[in-house]
Each structure stands twice: as structure tokens, then as C-alpha cells.
Amino acid sequence: MIIAAVVLLLVTALTTPIWSLATRKRRRDAPEAVVRRLDVIGAVVLLVPAAVAAALAAAAGPATGFLASAVPVLAALAAVTGGGPVVRTVLVAGGVGVRPDTGSDAPGAPDHEPGNDADTPDSTENPGPGPAGTGEAGPLRGGRVIGYLERLAVVTTLMAGWPEGLAIILAVKSLARYPELRAPHAAEQFIMGTFASVMWAVGMAGIEHLLTH
């Protein structure tokens, strides 16, 4: 059961990159509605192995040996790569989602995400160009990279047993984003994207805890 949980954690870490590459061509010329549908499907496909891994981890005993060493690495990888679809789906559900970037960084798809890496809202990347390439950029920039770093910081902080570090991570991010939060919809993107991103990372840290304690 432990091995199955670890394998599913690995599947969770690889699901988003594989899904992004598999749908990249279709996203490039697809209407926004189709892109959003692909994001929702991607999020569901991602959540299934993660949920099963969590259930198995809760029922199994702690991992030992090599598996015990591999679990934290896989959990961190899953936290970083898996947040994109979840964040975009939350943004769309909240009414502020936009077409995600279809560029080379597909695997992580924006973090807070809709948009190009250079202009991504925090927990939502910026709105990327629409089907005709006329999309408007979102109010927050660098969301994808910030999201990767944010989730990595959150999951490693929790795995290290220092939950107080979450306050520092969110404080640094909030202070850095403060000047941009006056833009239309920026606050909504920031709050929803950040919450979704952080909760995903916390979930991966939780699976790691179940498998190692």
C-alpha cells in the first residue's frame, strides 16, 4: 500500500506536465471556452491520483528506507508542478480566470494563472492572448514563476516542521504585490490564486507527512 501511494504521488507530480504537453497544440488555437474546459479536466485528472494517494497514505504505515527519502522529493515536485490547473480552475470558478498562457512553460501553466509568464498574476497569471491574439494582459506579473517558488517554499517549510514560515512567505509576497493590487481584478486574482496555490502545496505536504510519520 505504501508503494502504491508513492507511485501515485509520482503520477501526481507528472500529470500536469504531461497534460500540458499533450494539449499544448490544441490550446494554441482553441477558443477560450475550450481552454478553460481543458484546464478543468486537467485539474480533475490531477486531483484523482492525489486523492487516492492521500487515502492510501492515511491507511498505510510510514515509509522506510529509500521510499522514506524519495517521498519528500516527490511531494515537493508535485506541489510545484501540480498547482497550475488547480489555480486556473479556481480563478475561472471565481469569475476572474482568463485564458492561460500557451507558451513553452506549459507544464506549470501559470500559477495563479492565466497568462504569459512575464505578466502573470500572482496566483493567477495574466490573461494570455485570446484565440485571435488580442487578449489583454492581466494586472499582476510573473505569476507563474512566483507560484512555483511560493509552493516550493510552502511545502518545504511544512515538511521541515516550521509552519510559522508560512506567515513570512505570504507576508513577503503580499508586500511585493501591494503596489499592483489596485489594478482592476488584481486583488481578486491575488487572493483566490494565492489561496488555491498554498492549499495545494499544503495538501502535498500533508501526503508527505502521512507517508513518513
Q: What is the dihedral of CA 80, 51, 22, 107, to 10 degrees?
A: -10
Instruction: Establish how many alpha carbons lie within 13 A of residue 156's alpha carbon, considering only the half-sphere containing its beta carbon.
Output: 10
How much is the pLDDT for 138? 52
Q: What is the spatial distance between Cα 194 and Cα 203, in angstroms, rounded to a whole number? A: 14
Q: What is the CA radius of gyration of the chain?
A: 17
> How far is the first Cα of the chain from the last one, in angstroms, to the nearest whole number?
15
For cell 503596489, the residue is 179
How much is the pLDDT for 96? 76
How much is the pLDDT for 68? 94
Q: What is the spatial distance between Cα 138 and Cα 122, in angstroms, rounded to a whole number? A: 10
Greatest CA separation for the chain: 53
CA 58 to chain CA centroid, Å, is 23
Q: What is the spatial distance between Cα 27 and Cα 131, in angstroms, rounded to a whole number? A: 9
Domain total of the chain: 1
Across the strands, what pairs with 124?
A: 112
Q: What is the dihedral of CA 114, 49, 80, 91, to 10 degrees?
A: 20
- pLDDT averaged over 10-residue windows placed end to end, the chain, 213 residues: 95 96 90 91 96 95 93 98 93 70 39 41 40 44 83 97 95 84 80 95 97 93
pTM (2 decimals)? 0.80
How much is the pLDDT for 117? 38
Find the domain containing 38 and state its range.
2-212
Q: What is the spatial distance between Cα 198 and Cα 109, in angstroms, rounded to a whole number? A: 16
SS3 124: strand
How much is the pLDDT for 61? 83
- The H-or-E segment that residue 4 falls in is helix 2-29
The stretches of 30-120 forming alpha helices (DSSP H) are 32-59, 65-93
